[in-house]
Amino acid sequence: MAREYSRSRRVAQQIQKELAQIVMREVKAGEFGMITINEVDLSRDLSYAKVYFTQLHDDAELIKKAIALLNEQAPLIRSMMGSAMRLRIVPELKFFYDKSLSEGIRMTNLVNQAVRKDKDNNPELDGQDSEAES
């Protein structure tokens, strides 16, 4: 019978927590703003980890610099993580920017614009919304 959560998933969640603390305390990324670790995708043998992060800035140049900085400091971050966690194998880290948050915001804005445009073009739709809610 399979467990609800596999070992690799549990380890990935713990790595995510540790990385969030390490990046917040140790990585000097002041110009990039706050970096948030969104997900850790761990290989089945626990030797490789893809780390997905977001930051407050949406500037492509700052994103490239943040990726370069994090991947450059990956061995140092890995050693800190290894001393904080009790793992037989500490995975190699590769950092990637997670576009899902910015894409979600973009999609929400597009939907809001379309709804606003519909209401501007069809003023009678405004009354129907309030009637349907009653």
List the domain range (segments joined by +) for residue 127: 99-134
Dihedral angle over CA of 106, 111, 116, 121, nearest 10: 130
> What confidence tens digit (pLDDT) does each residue in 23-50 have?
888 877 666 778 889 999 998 888 999 9
Q: How far is CA 101 from the centre of its chain?
A: 7
Q: Is it the case that residue 134 has pLDDT exceeding 50?
A: no
- Tens digits of per-residue pLDDT, 100-113? 877 788 889 899 99
Note the pLDDT tens digit of each residue in 54-106: 887 777 888 898 899 899 999 999 999 988 888 888 999 999 998 887 778 88
pTM: 0.74
Q: Phi/psi of residue 129, each to 5°?
A: -60, -45
Same domain (yes/no): 35, 53: yes
- Check whether residue 26 and residue 89 sit in a common domain: yes
CATH number of the domain where residue 30 is located: 3.30.300.20
- Spatial separation of the C-alpha atoms in residues 82 and 71, rounded to whole Å: 17
Same domain? 53 vs 104? no
